[in-house]
Amino acid sequence: MKKKKPTAGQRMIESARQALAFAEGRDDHGCVVHVPDEIDVKAIREKDLSVAGRIRAAVRTEQTHAGALGTG
């Protein structure tokens, strides 16, 4: 016999229970946490700046197009 799939509500309740257990520091939280030995802050910041630059360029392009169409 096939096991019944939990409903969306049941999955949300179980997720909330796991989140609470994690927040309380219990060992039975069901989450897997990976903390690297070393964190390269410089590389993370460079990547963030690169992404931010692409977002700014996309926003400027969108604003330019909207202005040209008279919608912005």
pLDDT tens, position by position, 2-44: 788 999 999 999 999 999 999 999 988 888 878 889 988 898 8
The count of other CB atoms within 10 Å of the CB of residue 14 is 12
User: Which pTM value belongs to this model?
Assistant: 0.43
Q: Burial level of 18, CB count in 10 A (0-12/13-18/19+)? A: middle
Domain boundaries along the sequence of the chain: 1-33, 37-72
pLDDT tens, position by position, 61-72: 887 777 666 655
